[in-house]
């Protein structure tokens, strides 16, 4: 997959929220609300970023890093922009920031039925470390994944 050109990764800003919420609602059956993103922008150990192309938000990632562990809390790409390498760019950026913050491990959880996301995470060097049964809406399992950053 080629790296998309013209994509800028930058810190999330309040003005981005309407576009982010549209992507979030199109991506998840139980989407985050505006307050979740506002909290991430304000929290001292959170590092939310957006991917922007030609002035439009095409994706985002919310990273939390505290001491030796970092976690990807939320990541999504606009449905019409998927398959173009934007999620890969966001993941690479999250890994770089986590390393910069001296994290030794980067963790995430993903719905067991989201095979395209699991494939992306494995391609980024994440390994499966466990399962939370019926974690999503009491139905779908969550696959726990980690990437060693040392």
Domains belonging to the chain, first-starting first, are 7-148 (3.40.630.30)
Tell me the pLDDT of the chain averaged across its residues: 94
Spatial separation of the C-alpha atoms in residues 84 and 7, rounded to whole Å: 11
Tokens matching residue 47: 């590092």
136 is catalytic: no
109 is catalytic: yes
Predicted confidence band of residue 131 (pLDDT cuts 50, 70, 90) = very high
Q: pLDDT per residue over 1-25, tens digit each?
A: 455 678 999 999 999 999 999 999 9
Q: Give the per-residue pLDDT at 109.
A: 96
> What is the dihedral sign for C-alpha 96, 97, 101, 103?
negative
Q: Which of 60, 121, 136, 146 is catalytic?
A: 121
Q: Give the per-residue pLDDT at 110.
A: 96
pTM: 0.93
CB neighbours (10 Å) of residue 136?
Answer: 18
In which residue are the tokens 């491990």 written? Answer: 105
Provide the residue count of the chain: 150
Q: Which of 40, 52, 109, 146 is catalytic?
A: 109
């Amino acid at each position: 997959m080629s790296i998309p050109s013209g994509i800028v990764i930058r810190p999330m800003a309040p003005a981005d929220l309407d576009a982010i919420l549209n992507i979030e609602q199109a991506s998840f059956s139980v989407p985050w609300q505006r307050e979740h993103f506002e909290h991430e922008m304000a929290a001292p150990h959170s590092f939310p970023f957006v991917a922007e192309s030609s002035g439009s938000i095409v994706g985002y990632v919310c990273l939390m890093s505290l001491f030796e562990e970092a976690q990807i809390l939320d990541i999504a790409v606009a449905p019409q922009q998927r398959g173009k390498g934007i999620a890969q760019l966001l993941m690479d950026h999250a890994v770089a920031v986590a390393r910069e913050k001296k994290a030794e491990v980067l963790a995430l959880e993903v719905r067991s039925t989201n095979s395209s996301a699991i494939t992306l995470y494995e391609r980024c060097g994440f390994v499966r470390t466990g399962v939370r049964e019926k974690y999503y809406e009491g139905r779908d399992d969550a696959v726990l994944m980690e990437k060693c950053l040392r």
